[in-house]
Amino acid sequence: MRAVTVLGGGIVGLTLARELRRRGLEVELLDSRSIGTGATGAATGILTPPQHARTPFYQLRTRAWQMWPEYAAKLSAESGIDVGYLRCGAIDIRERTIRNPQRELRKLRDSGGRVEVLTRDQIRQLLPDLVRSPEAGLLVEMEARIDPLATIEALRRSCHGAGVNIRENLGPIRIEPIGAGGITLVATGDIELSQPSEQRSVILAAGWESVSAALAVAPSPLPLEPVPGEAIALDLAAPAHLVHFNLLREGFRDPSGNRSIYSWIPAPGGGSWLGNSVASGNRVDRTVGDPSSDAVEPTAEGREELVEVARSIFGEDVESRITGHRAGIRPKATRHGGPLLGRWPGRPQLWVATGHYRAGLLIGPATATMVVDSMLDGAPIPEQFQLPC
Ligand SMILES: Cc1cc2nc3c(=O)[nH]c(=O)nc-3n(C[C@H](O)[C@H](O)[C@H](O)COP(=O)(O)OP(=O)(O)OC[C@H]3O[C@@H](n4cnc5c(N)ncnc54)[C@H](O)[C@@H]3O)c2cc1C
């Protein structure tokens, strides 16, 4: 193989394109819209380290967490754009932590950093903007954040500078099977595409929309579930740490019963973000295989939820402090909880890298290395991440 076509210009496609080009391949990156208009452009940039390294997914997260400081520095140097890596730590005032901080502290014993219980007075001092202070919480050293939009721009510039051919606004590109083991790329409009061959592989890295892009290629549909999420920007001064909490009055739950965790995030540039961890807004409109070519718009329902959450911690007049609102669909792999990575069964020219769910920014660079090592050197990918035959 001499060349690779990457479908999708989110964090996953871009980190793959950069890695492949660094390893000497000819790389083309195709996006149906503009780069960064999928989930990556809506993300809030939290890098959460794993609590242990006992499963392949948690090992991947550990590797990803360890990679980020150097990755951020290299990317900033290559592109001239500061990607905003900040090891800010977090204050955890989720309900279960308030109820039993010692138990949550024990869970973070192996996190590799300092964790300490906070009293109500300490929380009040650290978070003076909160209208009420919970009686206990945790200060967790090992959390960081990046600026997702700056990261996308830095990756674009780095890829472009290294000679990746980036083509945008092409409309959805589909993968169709040919014969027993081949594939072809099909565009909606009148667009010339380099076709897969023995010398050119394709990596499907189109986030949640990977489902519709590969609907015709068995095994299909991909085991992915859409989990919409939204975030609002606030002109409240950035907290010194990330803050994780639940809605104090009435918790929002996803269909599987998970309670949303909300995060208040120091945004680069001085303001802050507030985002949710489970579905909101668009959740009822998306069906498997929906070949939508539109970016996901923020919803009134999603905004209402976040305003209610913001009021519960900052007080009544917070709505006037909202300066932005964004939304995206997180691609959740339903099979093993980790991402879907590796060669497509029965189609040797096709590879997949999606299903990064809530951790695409954290694990994107590490999954790129894993997939490229497998493509070029035959390094094994854990069975848990591979597509079922
Ligand atoms: C509100 C919110 C907050 C989040 N916060 C965090 C966080 O703090 N930390 C974290 O690690 N993760 C976070 N995430 C999750 C993270 O955003 C995702 O895991 C990650 O962005 C997925 O990246 P991706 O490249 O797979 O997909 P995407 O970013 O969705 O990119 C897919 C790209 O493919 C293109 N595309 C679609 N169909 C086609 C096609 N047929 N052909 C060609 N191109 C196509 C799209 O235009 C898009 O550019 C958050 C997500 C949301 C929604």
Instruction: For residues 248 and 328, state if they share a domain.
Output: yes
Instruction: For residues 24 and 99, state if they share a domain.
Output: no
| Residue predicted with more confidence, 371 or 247 | 371
Q: Residue 160's domain is classified under what CATH number?
A: 3.50.50.60
- Give, for ligand 1, the residue of 169, 293, 330, 363 to mutate: max count of ligand atoms closer than 8 Å to Cβ: 330
Kindly report, residue by residue over 258-287, the tens digit of the pLDDT.
678 899 999 988 899 999 877 655 443 444
Into how many domains does the chain fold? Answer: 2
Instruction: For residues 174 and 137, state if they share a domain.
Output: no
Show which of 290, 311, 333 is a domain's final residue: 333
Distance 9 CA to ligand 1 centre (A): 9
Q: Whose CA is nearest to atom 42 of ligand 1?
A: 173
The secondary structure of 18-50 as a DSSP string is: HHHHHTT-EEEEE-SS-TT-SHHHH---EEPPP
Kindly report, residue by residue over 322-368, the tens digit of the pLDDT.
999 999 999 999 876 689 999 999 999 999 999 999 999 999 999 99
**245 CB contacts (<8 Å, ≥6 apart)?**
93, 94, 261, 262, 263, 264, 313
**232 CB contacts (<8 Å, ≥6 apart)?**
273, 274, 275, 303, 306, 307, 310, 322, 324, 325
Instruction: For residues 363 and 243, state if they share a domain.
Output: no
Kindly report, residue by residue over 208-243, the tens digit of the pLDDT.
999 999 999 999 899 998 988 899 999 999 999 999
- Check residue 67 and give its pLDDT: 97
Residue 185 confidence class, pLDDT cut points 50, 70, 90? very high
Show which of 291, 313, 333 is a domain's final residue: 333
SS3 342: strand
The number of the ligand 1 atom at minimal distance from the alpha carbon of 8 is 34
- Check residue 279 and give its pLDDT: 64
Instruction: For residues 257 and 319, state if they share a domain.
Output: yes
Residue 288 confidence class, pLDDT cut points 50, 70, 90? very low
Distance 87 CA to ligand 1 centre (A): 23
Distance 303 CA to ligand 1 centre (A): 20
Instruction: For residues 57 and 24, state if they share a domain.
Output: yes
Q: Whose CA is nearest to atom 15 of ligand 1?
A: 358
Instruction: For residues 219 and 229, state if they share a domain.
Output: no
pTM, rounded to two decimals: 0.95
Pocket of ligand 1 (CB under 6 A): 7-13, 30-33, 35, 37-40, 42-46, 172-173, 205-207, 209, 213, 229-231, 275, 328, 330-331, 354, 356-362
Q: How many CB atoms lie within 10 A of CB 320?
A: 7
Instruction: For residues 357 and 315, state if they share a domain.
Output: no
Show which of 292, 307, 333 is a domain's final residue: 333
Full domain range(s) for residue 178:
3-83+148-223+335-385
Q: Residue 323's domain is classified under what CATH number?
A: 3.30.9.10
What tokens does 33 get?
A: 């819209």
